Every structure is written in structure tokens, then in C-alpha cells.
Amino acid sequence: MVSADFGISLLSTHGTGKQGMVHHNRLIENQAPAGNAIVVKGLIKSFKRLKVLDGIDFVVKQGTVLALLGPNGAGKTTTVHILGTLLLPDGGKALINGLDVVKEANRVRSLIGLTGQYAALDEYLTGTENLHMIGRLYRLSHRDIKRRTRELLELFDLVEASNRAVKTYSGGMRRRLDLAVSLIASPPIIFLDEPTTGLDPRSRLIMWNIIKQLVSSGTTILLTTQDMDEADNLADRIVVINGGKIIAEGTADELKQRIGSERLEITVSEASNFDEAKKVVDEDGLHVDSKRRTLSVVTKGGVHQLKQVLSNLDEAGINVESVSFRSPTLDDVFLTLTGHTTEQSKGETKAQQEG
């Protein structure tokens, strides 16, 4: 169990009510008419000859979470870097609260917090010093910096480690401090680039809790992930990208309707009759993995479907090694949407299923 009991109200102030009046007003000034915190139109970016983004469009409404879901090299980080004013797009437009990320980069910078894949911390400074330094660079007053630092260290369970150099921190602690640093100036919009990649399950859950509380306090979040489960858990809307193009978009439920909410997975005992098994189990959204001798289909009839499939296999004389239900993975999403798997995520998917 994770007992990350964070005080919601402390995380941010973009919510409703009297609390955030001062910059609530500022927010309204900067708002795009439609209440979109992030607008991306026809974004194009190439590195040398490699086209990384090939016309990306999406919007993120204020106070909501959008997940960019895709494998390595899909263009997720490039998108985040353009929105975070770190890269210039070759074409297209990106607006943060109505401000152009290219033309008004400096005004955009005071509205955003960016947490990258690799913790952007100073190794030789302590946790407290990192927070103080970035707080001052965000141009907060010394009093606010001290107060926010104290609050954030408590929220992120880093008080004990606060006076130690960051180079002594574990991976999970670094990620937490990294996010804390991004939040020091309570930016209304946060970019999280694969916030849980490489984290152990406990740290991952802590991260999820923090993100959920940020959202409930009114912060707009754009997060990237390779994990369908993570997108499902955290995001209001999911944009699936591959090879710099959007291949699907919708709420988690809408996507699940397309790919099935749960999958029935059958592992066949012998490789010799695997091809025959494929013909027998010819159901909706059949995905096969011949290396592991597994077949998976979208669940619909529950126990009835299970009985049916097993008896069909039995009649055909095919021995079944194991049967399980599991949630769809990024691979399933890709198989359904594009007809092929994501090469990069194969190993991880396998490990998750076996683990």
C-alpha cells in the first residue's frame, strides 16, 4: 500500500474559489477564447532528413490531462520540447494559453513547468538548494520560495533528504524532486515527459497520486507515456501517435471500445498446432504471438466465451497451457490500430505480462 496522503490544496492554486484569485485573474487574461490551455496545429519537425513530427494536431482543455501515447521514437518528446520552448518547429503552430511558443517564448516560459525523461537537477546541490535556485529563476520572492520549498518537500516526502546532495538520491527520489522543482512557481500548465518510465511500482504509484492531485487542483497536464495503463489511469483524453502522426484520439473509454477493454489470452502447449489454433480461435481482434504461442482476443461473452473458445480448441485436439485475462497493452492498441506491433515495446510488454 502506498500511503501518499498529499494535501490537495497545497499542490496548486488554479482551482476555483477564493484561493487563487490573484493569478486566476491572470489566467483569464491569457486564456484562449475556447478555454484551451494548449493548442497544437499542424506541427512539423525534422532532424536532418528524418521527419519526426508530420502534422500533429490536438488541443488540451484547461484543467484536463492529455496523454500522448506512443512507442519510442513516435515524436512524443519532440512535441513536448516544442511546447516547452526548447525546440523550434519547422511548421505549424503551438499556443500555450493563447501565446505562441515561438514568438512569445519568454511569456510562455512563465506559464509552464517541464519535467523531462531524465531528471533535470543539479547533482551537487541539495534538494532544498535545487528548489531555491529554480524558485529564484522563476522570479518568486524569497519568502514565497521558502514557503513553497517547505510545502513541496513535505508533499513529496523529501524532507529527510532535503539537505543531502541530489547525487545520493534514488531514481524515485530524483523524479519526485524533479517534479517538485517544476511546481515551485505553481505553473498552470505542466508537461510530464514519461514521468514513470524506469520507476519501481511503489514510486510509480506515488507519482500517479501526485499527478492526480495536481489535476484536481486545476492544473492542465500534458503527459507522455508508453503505458496504456498509465494513460487510462491519469488522462481525460488520449492521443495515440506513431511515426510523427496521430493514429487515434479519444477518451480512454472510446479507445477501449475500439481495442477492447480486456483481453482473453490463451497460451497453446505445442508450437506444432499453433497455426491450427489461430483458425479455431477466430474471434474479434485476434492478436497472435507465435514466439510465445499466445492468442489473445477481445473479451465479450465472459465465462460463456471462455467456455466456447476452450471447447473449440479441445475439439480440435489442441492442448492449452494457460488462460488469463489482462488489460490491453500498448502493443494491443497498436495491433488494432495499425496492424503491427511496436518493435520497441515488445520486450517490455512481454516482461509486464510475465511479471
Residues of the shown chain interacting with another protein in the complex, contacts defined by CB under 8 A: 7, 9-10, 13, 17-23, 47, 81, 84-88, 106-107, 109-110, 112, 114, 116-122, 124-125, 129, 133-134, 136-141, 143-144, 147-148, 165, 181, 185-187
Among residues 146, 71, 139, 61, the alpha carbon closest in space to that of 106 is found at: 139
DSSP letter assigned to residue 121: -
Order the strands of the 36-47 sheet from edge to edge.
Answer: 50-61, 36-47, 91-96, 99-100
The least distance separating another protein from the CB of residue 245, rounded to whole angstroms, comes to 21
Nearer to another protein, 81 or 256 (CB): 81
Q: Find all residues with CB under 8 Å of 69, minimum gap 6, and list them.
A: 224, 225, 226, 228, 231, 238, 239, 240, 241, 330, 333
Nearer to another protein, 18 or 49 (CB): 18
Nearer to another protein, 133 or 310 (CB): 133
Nearer to another protein, 36 or 126 (CB): 126
Cα–Cα distance, 265 to 69 (Å, whole number): 23
The least distance separating another protein from the CB of residue 106, rounded to whole angstroms, comes to 5
The least distance separating another protein from the CB of residue 67, rounded to whole angstroms, comes to 20
The least distance separating another protein from the CB of residue 287, rounded to whole angstroms, comes to 36
Among residues 235, 297, 307, the alpha carbon closest in space to that of 261 is found at: 297
Nearer to another protein, 56 or 259 (CB): 56
The least distance separating another protein from the CB of residue 64, rounded to whole angstroms, comes to 20
Give the β-pairing of 237-242 and 245-250.
Answer: antiparallel
Q: How many CA atoms lie within 13 A of 111 on its CB side?
A: 29
